Amino acid sequence: MFSVILRRSTFAAQRVWHWVGPPHRTSALSGASVGGSVSLQTCWASTARLPFSEKDVGRVKPHSFLGLDLFQKSQTHAAQLLVGSRHFHSSAVRLKKRTPPEPPPRELDLLRYDMKELWNSPKPALYLGFAGLIPFVTPTLLMAVTEIYYPELAYAQLAYSASIVSFLGGARWGFALPESSPAKPDWLNLANSVVPSLLAWVTMLMSDSIIPAVTMVIMSLGVSLHYDLALLPTYPSWFKALRSVLTTVAFFSLLGTLIINQIYEEKKIFSD
């Protein structure tokens, strides 16, 4: 078996040497079959001789250079197959997951960060939001200019404030209803959206006395603002900035009404 392998490898080496030999070869390869063997006669321009000839085939021994090299290669190949079969597995290749880049550090003051997006608000929301401050500001300015406390104006301001508080709670409910919304209609979102409406209802029950009623509606505006800024998932940045500005103006308007009630004389617009 070994002699057959050696004979085939020698014949292959001769053919390779024949075709890639020096470019100044002067004669072609010729062969004839004599006694079951192949005789090769090649004429070279130089005195170069093939590394193996037909006569060398029978004289090559296992301990010769070529035999030893083939023997070592066969052992190495068998060892590689054995080692490879031990560690062969068919599990799927899992690439190492790349860690996502760290987001840029956000400013500690969340409200100031959102205030930068105020003027990026949609124009309808911006205009309607600032127009909604008119019922807050107008009664307080009118009473401050005339230096008279009008209970009808104070009540109108209080009723409008209660309706705004209830509207803010309903906005959170509507924010959680769409399927594409980041806020889900769970107990946390829906229950918190009901709280401002309940506070507005209590405010109107206390409307006979302006001081506790206005105090209650100021607290309701603060609770609604806290929900809008801190309740997760939060609103867009432009909406939180707009809500902060509008709530601040409404707060000072209601506070001005409380101060005017204490320092100015009361007078009814529609006397009995």
Question: How many domains, the chain?
Answer: 2
Give yes or no for residue 30 having a pLDDT over 70.
no
pLDDT at res. 71: 54
Show which of 82, 102, 121 is a domain's final residue: 82
Partners of 34 in beta bridges: 37
How far, in Å, CA of 1 to CA of 71, rounded? 13
Integer angstrom CA distances of residue 253 from 36, 41, 123, 146, 172: 118, 116, 24, 16, 24
* Cβ-proximal residues to 114 (8 Å cutoff; 6+ apart), any chain: 237, 238, 240, 241, 244
Comparing C-alpha atoms, which of 47, 50, 46 is closest to residue 19? 50
Section 90-104 average pLDDT: 60
Q: Are residues 248 and 139 in the same domain?
A: yes
Give yes or no for residue 128 having a pLDDT over 50.
yes
Q: Are residues 76 and 135 in the same domain?
A: no
Percent of the chain's residues with pLDDT above 90: 38
Q: Are residues 245 and 125 in the same domain?
A: yes
How far, in Å, CA of 193 to CA of 175, rounded? 10
Q: Are residues 143 and 257 in the same domain?
A: yes
How far, in Å, CA of 42 to CA of 15, rounded? 11
Q: Are residues 72 and 136 in the same domain?
A: no
Q: Are residues 133 and 224 in the same domain?
A: yes
Comparing C-alpha atoms, which of 220, 197, 217 is closest to residue 209? 217
Section 191-199 average pLDDT: 92
What domain range includes position 9? 2-82
Q: pLDDT tens digits for 68-85?
A: 555 566 666 555 655 555
Q: Are residues 251 and 141 in the same domain?
A: yes
